[in-house]
Amino acid sequence: MKFTAGQVAELINGKVEGNKEAVITNVSKIEEGKPETLTFLANPKYTHYLYTTKADVVIINDSFVAEQTVKATLIRVPDAYKALAQLLEMYEQSQPKKSGIEQPSFIDSSATLGDFAYVGAFAYIGENVKIGNNVQIYPQAFVGDNVTIGDNSIVYAGAKIYKHCRVGENCIIHAGAVIGSDGFGFAPDENNEYKKIAQIGNVILEDNVEVGANCALDRATMGSTIIRRGAKLDNLIQIAHNVEVGENTVLAAQAGIAGSAKIGKNCMFGGQVGIAGHISIADNTKIGAQAGVGGNIKKEGQILMGSPVIDVKQFYKSSVIFRRLPELKTQLDQLQKEIDSLK
């Protein structure tokens, strides 16, 4: 596909500075820019690449002020990152989508498939499954009995959706994810042996949810584990039984949420964040990577770090002290010697 800078600017409502006829045949990262490619600048850390990139067209923010001569043609927009995302989405939507049923695959006679659905080879569709329009089920995926999947959702290769779970519209479940595995429920008996507690609930993904590769979302003991509308889960995340993740909350890789925790909406968790069970996290909470949360977060809009978590400003002050502990220990020992000598 070939576009000009002017054509791209029209698509994203941008203003061209330079050659409107500059040709674009591909995209590239700004630090690896090549002729006839489109790139973007959103992070100030990459500003110096703007003056050396070989990409012919660069999308930048309206507010950007160049300090050197820029050879590339610029397309100015209010938000360069959002504009690029818009272009990539347009490109993705323009690609041909798979449809039809490949063989060998198994689809129970009681299952229903919507218009233009795709089922890849070796996929399994169980009893009373309801699959919406334009849904794509890739090879070797498993869809258990009584599962429903809403319109335009995608289940990638090798993903597993256990019985009775519900997937909304426009959801994406990446390869290797498991939706509806048993919650971690066991009760010790008089011999201190653990008896399994039946997990009879399900998992509900509301609309526009994305689940990364190799995530595990456990079914509820009773009721539902719920991932609310617009939430995004990175790869390798554990969501335990009866957890609720709020609308438009995003979790980075290797985060773990213990049973019955309630996460508010519009929260952001860094990688390897751990949340204890049976607690609640207020809306708009941001938690830094590797933090541990053992109690309720009641105040909205906080930024927290550390284990146990504290306010981010306190964390940075504490980290300075922590780095000085060997020096402070030496000083303390010296003071103790001086005190002992005075005695």
Q: Which of 252, 297, 299, 257 is nearest to 275 (CA)?
A: 257
pLDDT for position 342:
87
DSSP assigned state of 297: B
> Quick check: is 48 catalytic?
no
| CATH for the stretch 3-94 | 3.40.1390.10
pLDDT at 94: 83
DSSP string, 216-242: EEEPPSSSEEEE-TT-EE-SS-EE-TT
CB 156 within 8 A of CB 173: yes
Topology alike, domains 3-94 and 100-315 = no
* pLDDT score at 92: 85
Active-site residue identified among 48, 164, 241, 278 = 241
Cα distances (angstroms) measured from residue 235 to each of 213, 216, 255, 300: 5, 10, 9, 26
Residue 148: closest CA among 160, 130, 164, 136: 130
Residue showing tokens 């006839």: 36
Domain coordinates in residue numbering, the chain: 3-94, 100-315, 319-343
Note the CATH architecture for domain 100-315. Answer: 3 Solenoid (2.160)
DSSP string, 179-201: EEEPP--EEE-TTSPEEEPP---
Residues 6+ apart with CB under 8 A from 267: 246, 249, 250, 281, 283, 284, 285, 286, 287
pTM above 0.75, yes or no: yes
Contact 129, 114 (CB under 8 A): no
Tell me how far apart the alpha carbons of residues 237 and 255 are, in angstroms, rounded to a whole number.
5
**Predicted local distance difference test score (pLDDT) of residue 296:** 98
Q: What is the pLDDT along the chain (343 residues), one digit of tens a residue?
A: 789 999 999 999 999 999 999 999 999 999 999 999 999 999 999 999 999 999 999 999 999 999 999 999 999 999 999 999 999 888 888 888 888 999 999 999 999 999 999 999 999 999 999 999 999 999 999 999 999 999 999 999 999 999 999 999 999 999 999 999 999 999 999 999 999 999 999 999 999 999 999 999 999 999 999 999 999 999 999 999 999 999 999 999 999 999 999 999 999 999 999 999 999 999 999 999 999 999 999 999 999 999 999 999 999 999 999 899 999 999 999 999 989 888 7
pLDDT reported for residue 283: 98
